[in-house]
Amino acid sequence: MDQSAEIFTEMKIEENSLLEAIYERYIDLIDLNGQHSYSLHYKGGSLTRTGLSQRQPQDENNPPPVNQDDIQISISTSPRKSVFASISAVLSGKRLNRCGDCADLENKCQNLMELDISNNLFNDWNEIRKVLNSLKKLRHLNLTSNKLADFSPESELDEEKKIPKTIEYFNTQWPLDEKNFFYNNLKTLVLNECFVDLRIIECLLHRLIGLSELHLSRNNYNQINFSADLRKHSIKVLYMSNNLLDNWNQVAKLGVCFPNLEQLVLSSNPLKNFQIEPNNDSEFLARANNSDLFKNLSILNINKIKIDHWSSLDALKYFPNLKHIRIHEIPLLETIRTEEERHNLLVGYLEKNISYLNGSNIPSQFKESCERKFMRFFMDQENKPERYFELEAKHGKLNRLVDVNLDVGKTVYMKIKYDDKYIFQNIKIRQTVGELKKSLESFVGEPSAKFRIFYIDKEAESAYGHDELKLAKSSLLSLKLKDGDEFDICLKQASPKKSIR
């Protein structure tokens, strides 16, 4: 057995515990001239292992035993950082099912702020409570794909009795009147693919009074069975993607329970509209309109839902603060050939309160241009959406052959890509490459000197590839840009620094 193994044997850390995993993942056992270093430091977004020491007389043949009490995991930022940035530990897929010694965990990891223990075997809420009690500064906890749905406070309980007994467990073993159980610092809780009943989630929410972001994706929820009197005002961001919600009445309940909701992610749910229908849920939906239920909602993600009629989008205008929408891969747009055309039609259809679509800003001039394109798209179709007639009243009847866009000849509509994001934008052709790059600094997040830009002629791409725009004073007029062409942006590689001898 090597020295490291002997030291870990001496520690006697509980198998499959969070504490054991932290030791194994984040501690190096180093013997340097009689010093044992056992510390965990945060530097620039990642954890490194260096640190504190205990001096002992050096004896190469008989190294001194290590006392577990002498070990400290010190998680800290660089001295240059005035505040903590993001101190995190990732222990996914380690077959963990318990916390370990709580006092030891609290002592060793007192500054830990983000913990990812996804894809483990936790199936006992008491162990989660121990983790929260031990990590007082924890702000983010990821419990994705743990076995918490298997929790049973008593052995051999049938499924019908398990939920009431679990609620009783929370009320007795995790009582609300104990101030130590109110976790003010925890802001984000991720319970994706845990399949925990929402009535149990409600018990958690009563105890996590500072929680502002909740992730409940991939849990097969087809209804919202929170109690009608739940009001969690602190929740601002809610992820409910990849569930089985097919009725907006169920989603409306989320607006009741989380009245200050600002961001809602509903992607990959089989929703077909945003209408609240009269039903027997009067206890829940007494105020049955979206303008009241979602009065603070500003960001809505509805990618991959089942909308197949333009009229289904009409309800979005009744969300008073809605500004950002993400909507991709819906049946309504399947027959429209190009991504650009789909984008243009959506911009033309959406009301003016929507200022961002799929991450791209919608300037007023571009909005007007898209409204006209929307009208021309439906001009010769027999079944026109109601929005067509609203736009006709605004713009008048359009000539089929003449687009009255005042920017024709002065701008081209192009896609601009950087890393994994993109925008559609009208590009002025009477400007230089340098001016173009300068205008894209805010999109890239870097000064123009640090990135390169390539022009992609979509018609000739297969033959000629991409052309880099290298000359800052060169005019875009010379490129003969066309609608639908692209600019690709990438960062310049940093020059290697010369070593100092």
Q: Determine the Cα–Cα distance for residues 138 and 246; give it in Å rounded to an integer.
A: 35
8 Å CB contact between 197 and 224? no
Q: What is the pLDDT of residue 23?
A: 82
Q: What is the pLDDT of residue 24?
A: 82
8 Å CB contact between 163 and 199? yes
Domain contains 309:
no
8 Å CB contact between 25 and 91? yes
What DSSP assignment string belongs to 199-229? Answer: HHHHHHHHH-TT--EEE--SS---S----TT
Full residue range of the structural domain in which residue 91 is found:
1-58+67-153+183-197+206-219
**Residue length, the chain?**
501
**Residue 277 CB neighbours (<10 A):** 12
How far separated are the first and last CA of the chain, in Å rounded? 42
Domain contains 243:
no
Q: Among residues 100, 96, 89, 87, which one has the least CA distance to residue 119?
A: 96
Domain contains 501:
no
Q: Determine the Cα–Cα distance for residues 303 and 308; give it in Å rounded to an integer.
A: 13
Contacts of residue 237, defined as CB under 8 A and 6 or more positions apart, other chains included, come to: 212, 213, 214, 261, 262, 263
Contacts of residue 355, defined as CB under 8 A and 6 or more positions apart, other chains included, come to: 323, 324, 361, 362
Domain contains 132:
yes
Q: Among residues 109, 116, 113, 110, which one has the least CA distance to residue 145?
A: 116
**Residue 467 CB neighbours (<10 A):** 13
Residues of the chain with pLDDT under 70: 1-15, 27-86, 177-182, 280-288, 400-409, 458-466, 494-501
Q: What is the pLDDT of residue 479?
A: 80
pLDDT tens-digit series, residues 230-248:
999 999 999 999 999 999 9
Give how many domains the chain has, as a whole number.
2
Domain contains 481:
yes
Q: What is the pLDDT of residue 53?
A: 34
Contacts of residue 408, defined as CB under 8 A and 6 or more positions apart, other chains included, come to: none
Domain contains 87:
yes
Q: Residue 478's domain is classified under what CATH number?
A: 3.10.20.90
Domain contains 443:
yes
Q: Among residues 225, 174, 227, 163, which one has the least CA distance to residue 204?
A: 174
Domain contains 178:
no
Contacts of residue 178, defined as CB under 8 A and 6 or more positions apart, other chains included, come to: none
pTM of the prediction?
Answer: 0.71
